[in-house]
A and B are shown apart, each in its own frame.
Chain A
């Protein structure tokens, strides 16, 4: 399956903005921006933050935003808060009605 590569860790201070990248090789990432983003706290199920590249489900803070450049999708967290400390995964189609998660990025709030 196609892989989605993320940095292992990103950190920031409260109030700052951070950006997490997700690099893939399929058209779902490069052409159609059908990348989603999840937040996962330890022991919990992943929570959907962003879908179709930049759309937020109901109830998700506007501090979370998604974008794309070429074959790299990005998640930006603005106004970093203590509760944002979690692991973030991107997700997209791998082609042929199959799906793949990114390698995951652990966010630390300093």
Chain B
């Protein structure tokens, strides 16, 4: 059974860089999964941030693309999210999740981490 767990700082100041890691157990990050990041601001719908494949292929939400980088670390069986120049609007619970993609179609995220709250405040 695939299990995911997010980790990272819970509090950031405006203009800082958010770095989150998702640790994967039950399978290799080099397996046939795309790895997603999704966030959910308080009381709002989830927002898809992007996805990354172990060879470095990435797809990002156009609204965040200029500030986002995702990568995979096979040696640690982890993948990560970097979000630059954060503001209060980036305050949210951040989830990591897994999807499978084949022939141009990606399944919806099925396995999710429990989420980690990130607050941006001065």
Contact = CB atoms under 8 A, between A and B. Distances in A.
Interface of A: 1, 34, 36, 38, 44-46, 48, 51, 57, 89, 91, 93, 97-104
A99 B95 CA distance: 15
A48 B105 contact: no
A93 B108 CA distance: 9
Interface residues of B, number: 22
10 contacts: A45-B113, A45-B114, A46-B46, A46-B109, A46-B112, A51-B108, A51-B110, A89-B46, A99-B48, A99-B106
B32 interface: no
A44 B115 CA distance: 8
B45 interface: yes
Given A1-B62, A98-B62, A48 B109 contact: yes
B107 interface: yes
B48 A101 contact: yes
A104 B108 contact: no
Contact of A98 (B46, B48, B107, B114): B48
Nearest to B63: A1
A102 B106 CA distance: 17
A98 B114 CA distance: 23
Contacts of B112: 45-46
Contacts of B47: 101
A44 B61 CA distance: 23
